[in-house]
Structure 1
Amino acid sequence: MYQFPYERLNVWKESMLLIKEVYQAIIKFPKSEDYALKSQLKRAVVSVTSNIAEGSARLSPKQQAYFFQMAYGSLIEVNCQLQIAVSLGYLEEESYKSLREHIRQISSQLSALRNRQFK
């Protein structure tokens, strides 16, 4: 089966795994967060992969770097929201540490990809 260019990027694959991890982590959030923190986390984590895909479809390196930067911003947003979840008692510290390490790995890959566009 044909693969789009973004589907061959390791950072996109890792971001897809992060979506599953975040969705699994927020299952136990209180019902009152369905349209608040839970919803915001879902949108932010999906935005990471979406921006990677969109950036890979752009022709100019400057445009590609812009979308990779947007993906990085969404990734940092996810991390911040997970920290909020920990502080509210919705997420255990150990779960957060595991997610944070995955976020760190993805952020490094995104930075390398973004910086590569300017060489």
Structure 2
Amino acid sequence: MQKSKSFKELVVWQRAHQLVLSVYGLTKVFPREELFCLTQQYRRAAVSIAANIVEGYRKRTKPEKIRFLNIAQASLEECKYYALLSNDLGYADTIILQNSSEETSKLLDAYIKAIEASS
């Protein structure tokens, strides 16, 4: 595994960041009454994914890194539910966002496995 110079070089972070931007775009069209409920929760969870990848990137030990990446995984699962809920409530078609979440999840899993396998 080649060392990166910045979290911005991580493909998993790039995908997570794109997911955040997609969630912000999607939630702009949510009903106004959702502003302080679903919109806020969805955005917070999405930002948490990318932010915890960044925070884990800077940690020095494997257990610390993995702990933050696991928090990112949990936030990603939360976002998967919000996408499903948003779709079921008829606020937006979230199929593309759900697919993006799955791709990000696979990348995050692979990143964790690479850290665990590194010496």
Q: What is the TM-score of this pair, normalised by structure 2?
A: 0.90
Matched, 1:108 2:106: yes
C-alpha distance after superposition, 1:57-92 (max 9, x if no partner): 000011111111111111110110111111111112
- The DSSP-based 3-state class of the residue aligned with 1:59 is coil
Alignment of 1:3-14 (within 5 A): 5-14=6-15
Q: What is the identity, as a one-letter code, of the residue corresponding to 2:54?
A: A
Matched, 1:118 2:119: no
Q: What is the identity, as a one-letter code, of the residue corresponding to 2:105?
A: S
Is the 1:18–1:45 Cα contact (8 Å) retained in structure 2? yes
Q: Following the alignment from structure 1 to structure 2, what is the Cα–Cα distance between the partners of residues 97 and 43?
A: 20
Unaligned runs of 5+ in 2: none
Alignment of 1:35-46 (within 5 A): 35-46=36-47
Aligned residues: 114
Q: Following the alignment from structure 2 to structure 1, what is the Cα–Cα distance between the partners of residues 90 and 42?
A: 16
Show structure 1 runs of 4+ deviating over 4 A.
Answer: none
Distance apart, 1:4 and its partner CA: 5.6
Q: Following the alignment from structure 1 to structure 2, what is the Cα–Cα distance between the partners of residues 21 and 81?
A: 13
Distance apart, 1:7 and its partner CA: 1.3
- The DSSP-based 3-state class of the residue aligned with 1:118 is helix
Q: What is the TM-score of this pair, normalised by structure 1?
A: 0.90
Aligned to 1:27: 28
Distance apart, 1:5 and its partner CA: 2.3
Is the 1:62–1:117 Cα contact (8 Å) retained in structure 2? no
Is the 1:61–1:118 Cα contact (8 Å) retained in structure 2? yes
Q: What is the identity, as a one-letter code, of the residue corresponding to 1:106?
A: T
**C-alpha RMSD of the superposition:** 1.3
Aligned to 1:49: 50
